[in-house]
Structure 1
Amino acid sequence: MNSKVFETLEYEKIKQKINKYLTTKSGTDELRQMMPSSDKIEISKLLDETDDGFKIIRLNLAMPIPRINDITSFMKRLRIDGILSSTELSKIKVLLSSVNDLTRFFSNLKDDKVEFNYLYRIIDSFQLMPSIAQNLSSSIDDSGKILDDASSELRAVRRQIKALEGSIRSKMNGTIKHQANKLSESIITIRDGRFVVPVKAEYKQSFGGIVHDQSASGQTLYMEPANVVESNNDLRRYQITQKQEERKVLFRLSNMIRPYENEIVNNFKILGHLDLINAKAMYARDLKATKPVISTDCYVNLKKARHPLIDQNKVVANDITLGRKYKTVIITGPNTGGKTITLKTLGLLQLMGQSGIFIPSAEESNIAIFDDIFADIGDDQSIEQNLSTFSSHMDNIVNILHAITDKSLVLLDELGAGTDPNEGAALAMSILDYIGSIDSTVMSTTHYPELKAYAYNRPSTINASMEFNIETLAPTYHLLMGIPGQSNGLNIAERLGINERIINEARSLTSQDSQDLNNMIVELTNQTKKAREDYEFIHNQLIESEKLHQELSEKLSKFYNQRDNLVRKAKEDANEIALSAKRKADDIIKDLHEKQSNLGQASFKENELINAQGQLNSLTYDINLKNNKVLKKEKAKHDFHKGDDVVVKSYGQRGVLISKSSKDEWIVQMGILKMKINVSDLEIVKDDDSKSKSRYTRVKRTKSSGISTQLDLRGHRYDDAMQEVDRYLDAAILAGYPSVTIIHGKGTGALRKGVNKLLSKDRRVKNYSYSPANAGGDGSTVVTF
């Protein structure tokens, strides 16, 4: 792209914002060379890489990229058998260590099933050198100091130096102690690599030793005591040996990495690329920017677009759309309304998106792929070239018109300004017509009212304006698509206090068409403003609703999961309980069958039937009462009285309270039996307690020897007869009878209908029919279980 547009749209300032997040020299170099691309594949790759970096930030993680200066300058010396310094080698060590750290970092992310578009491939392009990294780490620290472990010889000579330094200091401390009056200060210092003490000049001869330096005043001499001269000589020899050993270490390490020069430099560039990806992602996070969608047909749809260089707490977001229904947008309106900022926002966001940088706009915003972006914005008056503002603009536009294609974006600010209004307007329309014939995408600002009508009459062209608040006499900076800018000069003048007579005369001089057009624009502006406010309100409501829906969906999903788990657990528990109950029921039924088989030898006894019924009822748990301690407590407090009808819960039988035998026990009459029952096993039965009547039954015997296979209901009232049938069926089933006969008579047929209705609803009844004609006909019913 042309370099002028970068300066006009302040593209370099975006780079400076990103540069603050960089930590490597190679990342800085890559940023400096970064340019917008016009290749869709390249743009998609760059945006996906930034998205990868942004995903790491969303995971609250950070790529372990250290601060590394340039290594390429000194790496070139390896080609000519040069030896690197310890500081230079330490930079290579940090580089290789960071490569290992990054490899481990992304290996852990891969184990956690985190997916990336490109980062794994970039990491795989690193050249790992674990042995070289380990060797460097054991030889040099991060500050560039050669470690004792670099070689055994170096370790030995340093140990000797340390011991000798300790011996020298000990001797000199003795000298200081005995000749303190001859010293300026009681300290040990170093001159020319030898240990000395500051001696007063008048004691030079009596102190004894070698002078190595003196103070500026000459009053102090730095002397090496005679008793340490030989030790200092030995120390000097060891220090020379140390330097030789250190040089051997540097030579060895340089030779070790020499064959891997290209791989190390390539690692450095890859690290810089990762650094730039991370910097773009961090900039996107702080700017609250989003990944744009790429359009290949020059379609731009920026939602809530903000200029990235304006304070994000103050900038006004605007929707900017062009490229499909219309390729030319003409923005009219007063100065300082935001027209120029809108042009720059469009152009700069396009440059950012085509560079792989996220843009400050709402999600799913579209950017186009332009082969070039041209901008004529601002005052380009040139004193050196003796060009006026108009001439300068025309010179720039000439260059633009020669270079544009159908894939170009053209931004023109105040087109045709700086000359006669009539000529300027005509020239502006002609220029726009020419650009339209090339099919370039263009956004232009102007003050000329003629261009408002031009936008209405030209295909693929639309008016736009910047909203202006008449009440406050201030712009709102909102872009209004489809509405030309209104003329507010007279209104502003009137509100500022210009004489009403002057205002009225000015309006009389304005054509009626202009006034009607302005009134229409005012009405459209008000309607658009209200529509935007309504949209924003509904949009916010929609966002809140979506959040609530998402929250409810998550809770509902959680509820279903918990419910399914509880149901599954309940079924498992129920299966276990049912299996246990089946075994107990089988035992009870087996016992009853044995009693039935012995019917000819010994009849059933009432207490045996009651016990059997009680055992069957005990297989059912009263969940509400069992789990509800309050109900238990309330029922336990029930006030029982003599003569009360009760149900003995453990037996499932009804009875009558005869007398109280103790504090917690009553004697209960059940049939012909009297038993002591604990009050916790009793439940009062009211006359209207149909639930208890249907749940608990008592077997009525016609004679103590057993149950008759016939039940005679003649002479019974209807309600009593129906209860009698229900109890009789229970007793007959317990007795194991395959069939019984119910005598209901003919009469009015009410008892017969009631019996048939009851039998039709009883699941225990297999079938039923009237008795044969010679056995009573329809006066009785035979029931088969």
Structure 2
Amino acid sequence: MENWTLKPLEYSQVKEMLKQYTSSTLGKEKVEQITPSADYQEVQNRLQATAEGFDLIRLKGDVSLGGIRDIRASLRRARVGGMLYEMELLDVASTIRAGRKSKSLLKQIDEERAALPVLRSLTEKIIPCDTLEERILYCIDEQGMVVNHASPVLAKIRHEMDRIKQQITNTLQQIIRNPHYQKMMQEQIITQRYDRYVIPIKQEYRGAFGGIVHDQSSSGATLFIEPEAVVQLNNKLKECELKERKEVERILQELTNLVAEAADALEQNVTILAELDFILAKARFGNAMKAVVPVLSTERKLRLKQARHPLIHPEQVVPIDVEMGESYQAIIITGPNTGGKTVSLKTIGLLALMAQSGFPIPAEEGSVIPVYSGVFADIGDEQSIEQNLSTFSGHLTNIIRILKQLDERSLVLFDELGAGTDPTEGAALATAILEHVIEKGCSVVATTHYSELKLFAHTHPRAINASVEFDVETLKPTYRLLIGVPGRSNAFAISKRLGLPESIIQVAKSHLSQDENRLEEMIAALTQERKTSEEERSKAERLRKEAEQLVRELKEKLQHWEEEKARLKEKARQEAQEIVRKAEREAEEVLKELREWAKKRPQEIKEHQLFEAKKRLSEAVPDVEYPEQIISQPQQDQPLEPGDEVFVPRFNQKGTVVESLGQDEYLVQLGILKMKLHHNELQKKASAGSSVTTKVMTSVQRKSVDVKPELDLRGKMVEDAIVEIDKYLDAAVLAGLKYVSLIHGKGTGALRTGVQNFLRNHRSVKSFRLGSHGEGGAGVTIVELK
């Protein structure tokens, strides 16, 4: 496309890198075909697909589409009635399987975790061809052989072939073991020549050994003879092989016809799988390059954060920050040769091409790129060499072509604008070209050595100076791009460092015009101001880190204090529990004494009086309050995350955060309900390290002892049994048992009757019955408690 300068910006090299991350030739073909787009919606769709590829790999790991094959040629041949061979049919089955796996993979991902609309839309269009896949794999094994059970006829033919081969082998074994023939043989082996079974015979015994000669050794000393005894068997084997080949071809043709019937669906699936492979390749490339999906701007705003040229080694590349399109639309970069001006220029242009192709760009999150109608670049002098023109003529020819095509949405890149001719005229021409391009509304980045262009960028309201940094101390470029600071020539500083006498340098300075001296002084002042601001920024950053460290230490101390406070509270809680347990034991002892007294004097106390006494004892047990849990109030600068456990005071319920809805609102699961609640309505449950606590008090519940679901009363008197039953039922109710079994045995029935009479009036008994078969029958009473 004429609107895209691809070769000088090394766009094809980036595509070659991307091809390495595809899983199929189809994916490589998609990479080869892609070009930048000037349509905003198309670019948005491309980048959306790439972002979903990142999400899919993040959720499922490096998804492999290695089963995809380019079966389009096979489909064309199947349509016209040609026959597909075994490996071609296996490729068809492999592609069907890859489509099925891709479709299944997207179904496994919950839409609440990742919507992935582009990928889901693609996979939903994959047409299932499972029956065809199963038929192919039923007939052909992994080695590409048609298997015996592919058809009854083939199985019968191969069975017959195996039988004939066995007869041939047995016959030849008898010959080579016969002492009469052993002296005639060169070796006692059975081999094949031209698909006929033969044995090696010495040349001198040719007349004595009957049969057909099929071959001889290179020396002529050995003849490979088919004995007459196996000629007919070999002929039958040959006939069977012909039948086998015919039946295999029939099976392959049958499978080919099935492929032809599904050709349209398969072709659609191949197109979709190629797109999926391309999307995943972009995501893998992005992960390897530590790249991001940029934000698209509708207002021609460019903001690259820590942008890196993708073709420079990560350990050598120097990131650059670039902003353009808001306060200014032209950047004029100056600086020494080999300082990184052209690399900066190429980085901007190449990343724009990558973004408009849907590729992730090697930059930091938050980078913004507009959709340009075209990226035009005049870089280097390759064209001037090809056209046998001077450097200036070559550049100018290219610039004239660019000026005819650009519009207000174009990005224009000029490398060494105006170079190759008289400096005065070249600077004037460069200024005029920049004024024309800026007037058109284009975004412009230009590199130059001309001081006049530094003044132009300083005075033009829509332009800004920039430079690549040069370290005068080491006499080496740092390759850092400094926006807002024009580049110094550094010629005098370098000359001084190299030892040129000061007198000569001063004479040289005197030859500079007043404007040139003023410009150099301005640049020096700007450079010093930038250096001072960077030092201040470094100092502020250091203080910020120290403050953060101090906050961390204070939080750790507060956490330690909270842990110590919690430990003391836990100790107090345990002591309170021990007091309760002691009171309960004393109450039980009192109750036991009361029961003994009632047993000795039953006429003096009624059962309900015992219950009243027990109630008074229970009420005498002290209630102790202690903190049940520590609740952490979420800080405004620390939002809740999905999965966090929270407490909702308004409903006195615990819940789990399901999703962040933005603006400090969250979707919270409360039992079977999901509710939208504000941040201020939630209290986060404490984790290790919580620093803010809320005390929640609760009463200590008396701990019930372990209670068995049955009570054995066999051998006891009725009065003793009733006392034990009463105590047992109270304990069972406290333990939360719903049903218990009272084992009284059958015997005379007196104990059973006494037990059941007692149960009829017991306050904790809802109902009772005799045990059924398997529960003990009449020897057991099953009691349902209230």
With the length of structure 2 as denominator, give the TM-score of the two structures.
Answer: 0.69
SS in 1 for 2:382: coil
Q: Measure how far apart 1:248 and its partner are.
A: 1.4
Partner residue, 2:223: 221
Partner residue, 2:340: 338
1:661-692: CA deviation from partner (whole Å, max 9, x where unpaired): xxxxxxxxxxxxxxxxxxxxxxxxxxxxxxxx
Q: Measure how far apart 1:621 and its partner are.
A: 7.0
Question: Does the alignment pair 1:110 with 2:113?
Answer: no
Cα 1:384–1:471, aligned 2, differ >3 Å: closer, same or farther?
closer
- Once the two structures are overlaid, the 10-residue window that deviates more, 388-397 or 72-81, is 72-81
SS in 1 for 2:424: helix
Q: Measure how far apart 1:132 and its partner are.
A: 1.4
Question: Does the alignment pair 1:374 with 2:382?
Answer: no
Task: Choose from 378, 381, 388 the match for 1:386.
Answer: 388
Distance 1:549 1:479 in 2: 35
Q: Measure how far apart 1:174 and its partner are.
A: 3.5
1:475-494: CA deviation from partner (whole Å, max 9, x where unpaired): 11111111111121111122
SS in 2 for 1:416: coil
Q: Measure how far apart 1:61 and its partner are.
A: 1.7
Question: Does the alignment pair 1:233 with 2:196?
Answer: no
1:562-608: CA deviation from partner (whole Å, max 9, x where unpaired): x99x999x99x9999999989999x99xxxxxxxxxxxxxxxxxxxx
Partner residue, 2:622: 619
SS in 1 for 2:363: coil
Cα 1:209–1:555, aligned 2, differ >3 Å: closer, same or farther?
farther
Partner residue, 2:20: 20
- Once the two structures are overlaid, the 10-residue window that deviates more, 176-185 or 220-229, is 176-185
Q: For the Cα contact (< 8 Å) 1:189–1:197, is it kept in 2?
A: yes
1:697-745: CA deviation from partner (whole Å, max 9, x where unpaired): xxxxxxxxxxxxxxxxxxxxxxxxxxxxxxxxxxxxxxxxxxxxxxxxx
Q: Measure how far apart 1:100 and its partner are.
A: 1.8
Cα 1:121–1:574, aligned 2, differ >3 Å: closer, same or farther?
farther
Q: For the Cα contact (< 8 Å) 2:384–2:395, is it kept in 1?
A: no
Q: For the Cα contact (< 8 Å) 1:48–1:117, is it kept in 2?
A: no
Q: For the Cα contact (< 8 Å) 1:306–1:345, is it kept in 2?
A: yes
Question: Does the alignment pair 1:522 with 2:524?
Answer: yes
Amino acid in structure 2 at the alignment position of 1:162: D
Cα 1:113–1:489, aligned 2, differ >3 Å: closer, same or farther?
closer
Partner residue, 1:136: 136
Amino acid in structure 1 at the alignment position of 2:6: F
Q: Measure how far apart 1:43 and its partner are.
A: 1.4
Q: For the Cα contact (< 8 Å) 2:320–2:481, is it kept in 1?
A: yes
Q: Measure how far apart 1:256 and its partner are.
A: 1.7
Cα 1:63–1:543, aligned 2, differ >3 Å: closer, same or farther?
farther
Q: Measure how far apart 1:148 and its partner are.
A: 2.1
Partner residue, 2:174: 174
Distance 1:177 1:71 in 2: 53
Cα 1:547–1:286, aligned 2, differ >3 Å: closer, same or farther?
farther
Q: Measure how far apart 1:227 and its partner are.
A: 2.1
Partner residue, 2:454: 452
Amino acid in structure 2 at the alignment position of 1:19: K
Amino acid in structure 1 at the alignment position of 2:133: A
SS in 1 for 2:207: helix
Q: Measure how far apart 1:318 and its partner are.
A: 0.7
1:308-347: CA deviation from partner (whole Å, max 9, x where unpaired): 0000111000101111110111111111110000010000
Q: Measure how far apart 1:62 and its partner are.
A: 2.8
Distance 1:65 1:544 in 2: 49
Partner residue, 2:277: 275
SS in 1 for 2:360: coil
Task: Choose from 317, 320, 324 the match for 2:319.
Answer: 317
Cα 1:331–1:111, aligned 2, differ >3 Å: closer, same or farther?
closer
Q: For the Cα contact (< 8 Å) 2:4–2:374, is it kept in 1?
A: no
Cα 1:160–1:614, aligned 2, differ >3 Å: closer, same or farther?
closer
Match runs of 1:51-70 below 5 Å: 51-59=51-59, 61-70=61-70
Q: Measure how far apart 1:405 and its partner are.
A: 0.4
Q: Measure how far apart 1:381 and its partner are.
A: 5.2
Match runs of 1:697-776 below 5 Å: none
- Once the two structures are overlaid, the 10-residue window that deviates more, 66-75 or 465-474, is 66-75
Distance 1:3 1:198 in 2: 75
SS in 2 for 1:222: strand
Q: Measure how far apart 1:67 and its partner are.
A: 4.5
Q: Measure how far apart 1:533 and its partner are.
A: 6.1
Greater Cα radius of gyration, structure 1 or 2: 1
Q: For the Cα contact (< 8 Å) 2:380–2:415, is it kept in 1?
A: yes
Cα 1:554–1:309, aligned 2, differ >3 Å: closer, same or farther?
farther
Cα 1:529–1:156, aligned 2, differ >3 Å: closer, same or farther?
farther
Q: Which runs of 5+ in 1 are unaligned?
A: 589-612, 625-785
Distance 2:12 2:448 in 1: 27
SS in 1 for 2:252: helix
Q: Measure how far apart 1:369 and its partner are.
A: 0.3
Q: For the Cα contact (< 8 Å) 2:69–2:92, is it kept in 1?
A: no
Cα 1:534–1:283, aligned 2, differ >3 Å: closer, same or farther?
farther
1:409-438: CA deviation from partner (whole Å, max 9, x where unpaired): 000000000000000000000001111121
Cα 1:111–1:2, aligned 2, differ >3 Å: closer, same or farther?
closer
Cα 1:134–1:567, aligned 2, differ >3 Å: closer, same or farther?
farther
Q: Measure how far apart 1:522 and its partner are.
A: 2.6
Distance 1:180 1:456 in 2: 105
Partner residue, 2:480: 478
Distance 1:105 1:554 in 2: 44
SS in 1 for 2:65: coil
Distance 2:268 2:542 in 1: 49
Distance 2:346 2:546 in 1: 33
- Once the two structures are overlaid, the 10-residue window that deviates more, 548-557 or 397-406, is 548-557
Match runs of 1:39-118 below 5 Å: 39-59=39-59, 61-110=61-110, 113-118=113-118
- Once the two structures are overlaid, the 10-residue window that deviates more, 344-353 or 493-502, is 493-502
Q: Measure how far apart 1:259 and its partner are.
A: 1.7
SS in 1 for 2:198: strand
Q: For the Cα contact (< 8 Å) 1:467–1:525, is it kept in 2?
A: no
Task: Choose from 207, 210, 215 the match for 2:209.
Answer: 207
Distance 2:471 2:296 in 1: 36
Question: Does the alignment pair 1:499 with 2:501?
Answer: yes
Match runs of 1:362-441 below 5 Å: 362-380=364-382, 382-383=384-385, 385-441=387-443
Distance 1:32 1:480 in 2: 36
Distance 1:546 1:127 in 2: 57
Q: For the Cα contact (< 8 Å) 1:210–1:226, is it kept in 2?
A: yes
Amino acid in structure 2 at the alignment position of 1:500: E
Amino acid in structure 1 at the alignment position of 2:53: G
Cα 1:536–1:246, aligned 2, differ >3 Å: closer, same or farther?
farther
Amino acid in structure 1 at the alignment position of 2:15: K
Distance 2:207 2:345 in 1: 87
SS in 2 for 1:400: helix
Cα 1:108–1:460, aligned 2, differ >3 Å: closer, same or farther?
same
Q: For the Cα contact (< 8 Å) 1:196–1:223, is it kept in 2?
A: yes
1:70-114: CA deviation from partner (whole Å, max 9, x where unpaired): 211121122222221112111101111112222222222238844
Cα 1:616–1:93, aligned 2, differ >3 Å: closer, same or farther?
closer
What is the root-mean-square deviation of aligned Cα atoms in Å? 4.0
1:23-70: CA deviation from partner (whole Å, max 9, x where unpaired): 222212111111111222221221121122212322352324125442
Amino acid in structure 1 at the alignment position of 2:25: K
Amino acid in structure 1 at the alignment position of 2:473: E
Provide the aligned length of Structure 1 versus Structure 2: 600
Amino acid in structure 2 at the alignment position of 1:116: L
Cα 1:454–1:622, aligned 2, differ >3 Å: closer, same or farther?
closer
SS in 2 for 1:59: helix
Cα 1:27–1:617, aligned 2, differ >3 Å: closer, same or farther?
same
Task: Choose from 354, 357, 370 the match for 1:355.
Answer: 357
- Once the two structures are overlaid, the 10-residue window that deviates more, 323-332 or 375-384, is 375-384
Distance 2:578 2:406 in 1: 83
SS in 2 for 1:370: coil
SS in 2 for 1:462: strand
Question: Does the alignment pair 1:164 with 2:167?
Answer: no
Distance 2:191 2:307 in 1: 67
Q: For the Cα contact (< 8 Å) 1:211–1:221, is it kept in 2?
A: yes
SS in 2 for 1:207: coil
With the length of structure 1 as denominator, give the TM-score of the two structures.
Answer: 0.69
Distance 1:551 1:149 in 2: 75
Cα 1:511–1:259, aligned 2, differ >3 Å: closer, same or farther?
same
Q: Measure how far apart 1:281 and its partner are.
A: 0.8
